[in-house]
Amino acid sequence: MLNDRVAVITGAGGGIGAAIATRFAEEKAIVIIADVIIDAAEALAEGIRSNGGRAEAVKVNVTNKTQVDEIVSGIVKKYDRLDILINNAGITRDMLGMKMKEDDWDMVINVNLKGTWLPSQAVMRPMRKNKWGRIVNTASIAALGNVGQVNYSASKGGVISLTRTLALELARSGITVNCIAPGAIITPMLEEVAEEKRKEYLEAIPVRRFGTPEDIANLHVFLCSEGASYITGQTIFIDGGLSVGV
């Protein structure tokens, strides 16, 4: 489905990003695993290659425009194109709004929102040149509001608005821009939540299970395929129905 497409996935050293990279490799894409933790990225790339896939790892801080631009330029020079960008990198620094430190606000907005904008801006010209491109951003059910995550919720709400605007700007260039908003997904981040709180989450989910990284990766594959060429500007919640009742 993604045969020979060159795909950059940020924050792909672990969790959902690693699942996306693995699925893309299974679909015969050329996968660029971009992460600030290069050891994790290289380990994943090696694992993909050992299974017959094509992957390479690059170290990048998605908030650093110079780094982002240089990496995108290098990829385009090597492969003569860049087809897919998955903006997956993100962080949390949770605290009630009244007690939140300015540094924690700035850091989350910087990584989650600016760190989506800079890679998106960097890939626009090479995608427009080839008249084809797929950008998929990462929001969260927290964009609808979540106690203790005022910075995270604001950043993900911003990602949704960014997605809608870029979709309009790039629609005539053969580039689609969409957004996936996960709910409670089984990742190290969820595992850090207290057991009692996880039980509360589970009881609120209509399908009565947590999502898996593969649930998220499967939709990424479709949105980046030819079959999704008429879908743009959309935010799709993958949350077992949780957002329906919000």
pLDDT of 90:
96
For the domain made up of 6-238, give the CATH fold: Rossmann fold (3.40.50)
Q: What is the pLDDT of residue 246?
A: 60
Tokens linked to 142: 């927290």
Instruction: Kindly state the helix (H) or strand (E) to which residue 118 belongs, with its residue range.
Output: helix 115-130
The domain ranges of the chain are: 6-238
- Please report, for residues 89, 210, 217, the alpha-carbon distance to residue 138 in angstroms, rounded to integers and kept in the order given: 8, 18, 12
pTM: 0.96
Given this model, what pLDDT does residue 190 score? 77
Q: How far is CA 64 from CA 8, 36, 69, 111, 119, in A?
A: 16, 11, 9, 10, 10
pLDDT in tens, the chain (246 residues): 899 999 999 999 999 999 999 999 999 999 999 999 999 999 999 999 999 999 999 999 999 999 999 999 999 999 999 999 999 999 999 999 999 999 999 999 999 999 999 999 999 999 999 999 999 999 999 999 999 999 999 999 999 999 999 999 999 999 999 999 999 999 877 777 778 888 888 999 999 999 999 999 999 999 999 999 999 999 999 999 999 976
The residue among 155, 158, 145, 150 whose CA lies nearest residue 94 is: 150
pLDDT of residue 160: 98
Catalytic residue (choose from 79, 152, 201, 230): 152
Instruction: Reply yes or no on whether 152 is catalytic.
Output: yes
pLDDT the model gives residue 200:
86
- Give one DSSP letter per residue of 172-234, joined into a string: GGTEEEEEEEE-SB-SHHHHTS-HHHHHHHHHHSTTSS-B-HHHHHHHHHHHTSGGGTT--S-
